Amino acid sequence: MNIFIKDILTVLPDGIKTCSVYVSDGVIKSVTTEPEGFVFDKTIFGNGKLLMPGLINAHTHAPMTILRNCADDLLFDDWLFGRILPLEDKLTGYDIYWGTMLAVMEMLRSGTTSFIDMYYFMDDLVRAVEETGIRAVLSRGLMGDAGAPGARDNRLKEALDAIERHKGHTRIDFMLAPHAPYTCDEGYQRTIAQEAKRLGLPIKTHLSEGLVEMETIRTQYGCTPVELMDKTGLLTDTTVAAHCVQVNDSEIALFAERGVTVVTNPVSNLKVANGVAPIPKMLKAGVKVALGTDGAASNNTLNMFRELAVLTLIHKGVNHDALAVTAEEGFRVATKGGAIAMGRNDLGEIKPGNIADLVILNLDCPNMQPINNPLSALAYSANGSEVETVMVGGKILMENREFPHIDTERVYHEVSKICTKIGTR
């Protein structure tokens, strides 16, 4: 299918300008110049609209939409061990599928075209991603035995089997995901690092998120979580580490040296009272940084526009520095930064040859007018409600805020039933 997006204000790698974009068979064929012999099946008129690369949510747990607004105003450890893990024990693959469908609706509606996920019931996650048309990198969260001998080996086998079953999918990639330093002991971390190396799989993990984690690892191993993961071989140039709130300068230098991508989740870190990650220092040190919402149980949305606003605001206040993370830097982190986290150089920017994961915003809304500086508008004024049309790989997944391929009423109904079953409502 060929799509002609005519005369639209477009976020390009080198700035913002009005141009026409030509999409052919899922790829951005040309920007500005009409390709020879281009016959289009569909025209989108760009008047009053803005075209941007899709946002990339580089750390989330999609099915946790089910647990939205049921574990709030709790410190991280009370939130995770006291409330979330016992509820997750009640979830089935059926629940995971519907929770993911709801998550995909929310992400598309707010301009996200790709997400990096860590959860379980991989087949059900794959099915939701397949059916909705969104792009994803999936991983099965790996935790140690915790009183159930052999459980960790089973989880690793389950992860590897799922990857084998679903490999070669055009829109889904996989990572191996040790959940966190405090849920995977040293031996398990080494095993996972070896398997990842053997199979050429990237690593996904939570790292240095909260103070209790720092204390736990210090007591158990006499080092920091970052030092432990480096020792076990988990910090590589394809590692994607979420949070990294409690890190010092030498650990930031280590991230840069190893080529680790840090995914910052400012709203989740604020909500469960874990603090603020030193992102400006990381950017200065040349660390690869991406942006994520974390799950809907600790945010409580999957809205990357809100995340972008908080990313660009909070570091100014904390550092008394109005340039700490600029609108331009924040937008890049939320798009190209996510593409780098995914290991993709054909996403995150609008340029010829890249995959057409595109988002169109309607600028005819009060909070976006007047359009003096479009990048400022995206970082500081937009809230996601401006997103009108979304395509992934050139396929339109949302048009005029409607989902042609999703039965939205059914999704709300099924998720509501699940909440009644597990007792969150």
**Interface with Ni ion (CB under 5 A):** 294
Q: Report the residue number, 294 or 388, with the smaller CB distance to Ni ion.
A: 294
Query: Which runs of consecutive H residues, i.e. helices, occur in 71-210?
Result: 76-77, 85-88, 93-109, 122-132, 151-166, 186-199
Q: Report the residue number, 132 or 269, with the smaller CB distance to Ni ion.
A: 269
Q: Report the residue number, 3 or 296, with the smaller CB distance to Ni ion.
A: 296
Sheet holding 135-138, edge to edge: 55-60, 112-117, 135-138, 172-174
> Of 25, 32, 56, 35, which Cα lies nearest the Cα of 46?
32
End-to-end CA separation in angstroms for the chain: 44
362 backbone dihedrals φ, ψ, rounded to 5°: -90, 120
CA angle, 29 as apex, 375 and 363 as ends, to 5°?
30
Indicate the residue whose CB is closest to Ni ion. 294
Q: Report the residue number, 173 or 294, with the smaller CB distance to Ni ion.
A: 294
Give the whole-angstrom CA distance, residue 348 versus residue 343: 11
Cβ–Cβ < 8 Å for 61, 295: yes
The amino acid that residue 212 corresponds to is V
The amino acid that residue 146 corresponds to is A
Q: Report the residue number, 84 or 356, with the smaller CB distance to Ni ion.
A: 84
Cβ–Cβ < 8 Å for 192, 156: yes
Q: At its nearest, how many Å lie between Ni ion and the CB of residue 376?
A: 29
Q: At its nearest, how many Å lie between Ni ion and the CB of residue 241?
A: 11
DSSP state of 379: I
Q: At its nearest, how many Å lie between Ni ion and the CB of residue 351?
A: 31
Give the whole-angstrom CA distance, residue 177 versus residue 192: 8
Give the whole-angstrom CA distance, residue 254 versus residue 234: 13
The amino acid that residue 376 corresponds to is S
> Of 253, 290, 278, which Cα lies nearest the Cα of 137?
290
Q: Report the residue number, 189 or 274, with the smaller CB distance to Ni ion.
A: 274
Q: At its nearest, how many Å lie between Ni ion and the CB of residue 136?
A: 15
The pair of structure tokens assigned to 172 is 């889904």
Q: At its nearest, how many Å lie between Ni ion and the CB of residue 60?
A: 7
Q: Report the residue number, 177 or 252, with the smaller CB distance to Ni ion.
A: 177
> Of 94, 191, 105, 108, which Cα lies nearest the Cα of 142?
191
Q: At its nearest, how many Å lie between Ni ion and the CB of residue 337?
A: 17
Q: Report the residue number, 265 or 354, with the smaller CB distance to Ni ion.
A: 265
Q: Report the residue number, 30 or 183, with the smaller CB distance to Ni ion.
A: 183
CA 101 to chain centre: 15
Q: At its nearest, how many Å lie between Ni ion and the CB of residue 175?
A: 13
Side-chain-side CA neighbours of residue 4 (13 Å): 13
Q: At its nearest, how many Å lie between Ni ion and the CB of residue 62?
A: 11
Q: At its nearest, how many Å lie between Ni ion and the CB of residue 121?
A: 16
